[in-house]
Chain A
Amino acid sequence: MNIDIDDILADLDRDTTAIDSSINSHAANDTTILGSDGIDTDKFRHLPVLSAVGDFEKLMAHWRNERMSPELLPYPHLLMERTLRRVQEQLEHIECVSMGYLEDPSAENSTSESSNNALSNKLPLLCMEADLERLKFVLRSFLRCRLAKIDKYSLYLRQFNDEHVLLPLSELLSRQELEYHDRHSAIMLKLLNRAILRHMPPELQAVDDNDGSVKMVDEPEWNRFVFVYVNGPKAKQDSDPRLQVNEMGQQFYPVTIQELQEEAELTIGGIYVMRYNVVRDLILDDMVQLI
């Protein structure tokens, strides 16, 4: 007789991890001596998965999506806020730790054993600096990529200020990006106006004329091809109503390519070359990752 006790075991597992995580969060609180007097962390404690590592993984996903997608994706406001605060705190932490080395008397003794000890004591500092540099690199690359897209689509983004669009511009861009967009397009307009446009007949002076022979507003190329990896929903397999099962027993997302009236299956774990507009919803829901 076989009794399936996997669910009971899973129940027991969950209990132990709950205790573990509470211990860890206490330990983490102890190390954050600087700047945070416990209020910040308390405020976020009831929200799930806000560890630095989890946030970094999300940031990596955002970065990779942004680099590969033809359109400007919505700015992850909360995530960036948390990350930037962590960078600041870590900077101060590193500074404080390195102050400690000045006072450390063991560094002055020149016996081989203690110098060896000093090296191993500096390893964490070395790693923390490298770690911070890595995080800052991702942040920089992410923001620069977004700025490049804001340059490219500046006329298109101006249309977002109209009433009928789904997403307001302030959701799509951060505060600094909004300012950059405004001022940069103002400067560009001034240049074009002074150099060329004022010599044109009045009906040809608009820079965002879409009625002429060539459209002047550059829209993102919605059906450009992208490489995607299908990672599926995070935890619960049966939570997504879009998932279906094919005859091989694999789970997949059915998608339709409008232009060709063609159906395609995106099986979980597969790599595809797809048109961007076909998988856009899945990307925004984090079921699919651009690679």
Chain B
Amino acid sequence: MSLPWKLQETFSPEEIQFIVENEPIKIFPRFTTRSKVRGNRGNKTGQTRWKLLTASDEPLNNLVAIQTTEVAFWIALLLKQQGKCSIVAPGWLRLTQLQRFIDYELKNTERFSELPWNWLVVAQLLFSKAADDLQDPVHLLRGKVQDLREIRLGKIGQGLKHLNESHLQLDNLSLLEINELRPFVLGVMNKLKQVHGSIADEQEEEQ
């Protein structure tokens, strides 16, 4: 069919990354695009203006070196690749903060901590593309993120016992975690629903 079979029921991890890349993030630009009011008339610098369709282009036309700005994540990665900016890691990507999340996860076995919905993807992208911009050593951060991931995976495994035919509540689960669960959870719940439906039909017939 026109959509590959693999993508019919779920997103691919690359598409999840695509979705996450549209989110804003803070950067330190290393160049200036804001045109000076004085220089504007007279000599034409011929500087190209930014005109974007998917992201706000206003901050990009007003970049001042070493002044934080918020831009879309994919632009930040692109600029970073060119050595034109450094990315400011989000507040939760610090050793102390991650440790707090881990403590919370260990203390509350019934629920997930309030990590942002894109934490796994953001962490992965920053580790691989902007490792030198993080304030804490990357290998320690990687360790903490892996810890969090495993604790949450354990809880998800516990939660799968509760699959049923009516509904399920999964607050604070991140998009990537949902995406890897999706085929399994939906498949099982759909089957349970069918079984439940046929039992109900039989009972009605008996009465």
A interface list, Cβ under 8 A from B: 24, 31, 52-53, 56, 60, 64, 67, 86-87, 90, 93, 97, 100, 104, 106, 119-128, 130-132, 134-135, 137, 141, 144-145, 147-148, 151-152, 223-227, 257, 259-260, 262, 264, 269-275, 278, 291
B51 touching A93, Cβ below 8 Å:
yes
What per-residue 1/0 map shows which CB atoms of B162-185 lie under 8 Å from chain A?
000111111111010010001001
Known: A121-B47, A227-B182, A272-B167. 20 other contacts (CB 8 A): A53-B53, A60-B22, A87-B53, A120-B31, A124-B49, A127-B78, A128-B52, A131-B53, A134-B74, A145-B7, A147-B3, A148-B8, A224-B190, A225-B189, A226-B186, A259-B196, A260-B196, A272-B168, A273-B169, A291-B178
B157 at the interface (CB under 8 A from A): no
Total contacting residues, chain B, CB less than 8 A: 50
Interface of A: prevailing SS? helix
Tell me the bound Cα distance from A52 to B57 in angstroms.
Answer: 10
Residues of B within 8 A of A87 (CB): 53
A259 touching B46, Cβ below 8 Å:
no
The 6 closest A-B pairs by CB, nearest first: A148-B3, A147-B2, A273-B168, A148-B1, A124-B48, A56-B54
Residue of A with least CB distance to B8: A148
Tell me the bound Cα distance from A228 to B186 in angstroms.
Answer: 12
Residues of A within 8 A of B189 (CB): 225, 273
Tell me the bound Cα distance from A223 to B186 in angstroms.
Answer: 11
Interface of B: prevailing SS? loop
B197 at the interface (CB under 8 A from A): yes
